[in-house]
């Protein structure tokens, strides 16, 4: 499956997952399940989109070419996942504000809010018309800076939860791996550019 059909299917699966959690646990626990689950699905979808071009460059195969071809749609699916995550967080502030503030702090709100602004801007410019309006140079800058900011946000969020168990160690390995892949690909492109200049 490719393109917007892929985004549509992933969005339906994410929404269905959230609704199942809330139906089974129509309380604060249901919201916390949605928050945890969408944090993980968001990481996986972000990793797929963030590493797509680099993997296609470094390890060309049918899978990585599919990933590269669908980078835009995986990125929008990540935005959908994180929108559900945000909706659950907002619901938690209304349902149990005391619990919410034990899980976060104003500094985290600012950092996460900045990440959401990048996600919104990157999603809005994932369409041909808005990308053309922004221009290729500014589009590349937005998606480069925004992508790395979101990567740092995931690294920080997962890193502080490493004491909670092996799952978070596996998530951190994924975060580090996609960062390394991106850096290697960037380094190789720079060497090629220098060699041809």
Concatenating the DSSP letter of every residue in 145-161 gives HHHHHHHHHHHHHHHTT
Quote the number of domains for the chain: 1
What's the rounded Cα separation, in Å, for the pair 140 and 100?
36
Q: Look at residue 40 in the predicted model and tell me its pLDDT.
A: 96
Residue 12 CA to its chain's centroid (Å): 17
Q: Look at residue 139 in the predicted model and tell me its pLDDT.
A: 93
8 Rama class: left (phi>0) / alpha (psi -120 to 50) / beta:
alpha
pLDDT tens digit at each of 197 positions of the chain: 899 999 999 999 999 999 999 999 988 999 999 999 999 999 999 999 999 999 999 989 999 999 999 999 999 999 999 999 999 999 999 999 998 898 888 888 999 999 999 999 999 999 889 999 999 999 999 999 999 999 999 999 999 999 999 999 999 999 999 999 999 998 887 766 556 55
> What domain range is 20 assigned to?
3-196
Q: Look at residue 46 in the predicted model and tell me its pLDDT.
A: 98
Q: Look at residue 26 in the predicted model and tell me its pLDDT.
A: 87
Residue 168 sits in a domain whose CATH number is: 1.20.120
Q: Look at residue 140 in the predicted model and tell me its pLDDT.
A: 93
Give 26-71 as a DSSP string: TTHHHHHHHHHHHHHHHHHHHHHHHTHHHHHHHS-SHHHHHHHHTH
Q: Look at residue 107 in the predicted model and tell me its pLDDT.
A: 86
């Amino acid at each position: 499956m490719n393109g917007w059909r892929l985004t549509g299917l992933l969005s339906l699966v994410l929404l269905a997952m959230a609704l199942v959690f809330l139906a089974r646990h129509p309380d604060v626990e249901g919201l916390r399940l949605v928050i945890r689950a969408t944090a993980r699905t968001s990481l996986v979808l972000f990793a797929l989109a963030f590493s797509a071009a680099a993997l296609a460059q470094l390890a060309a195969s049918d899978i990585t070419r599919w990933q590269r071809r669908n980078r835009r749609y995986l990125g929008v699916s990540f935005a959908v996942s994180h929108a559900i995550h945000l909706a659950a967080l907002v619901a938690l502030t209304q349902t149990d504000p005391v619990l919410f503030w034990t899980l976060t702090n104003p500094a985290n709100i600012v950092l996460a809010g900045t990440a959401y602004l990048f996600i919104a801007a990157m999603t809005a410019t994932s369409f041909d018309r808005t990308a053309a309006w922004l221009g290729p140079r500014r589009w590349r800058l937005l998606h480069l800076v925004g992508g790395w900011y979101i990567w740092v946000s995931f690294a920080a969020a997962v890193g502080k939860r490493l004491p909670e168990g092996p799952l978070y160690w596996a998530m951190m390995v994924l975060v580090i791996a996609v960062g390394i892949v991106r850096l290697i690909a960037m380094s190789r492109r720079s060497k090629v550019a220098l060699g041809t200049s």
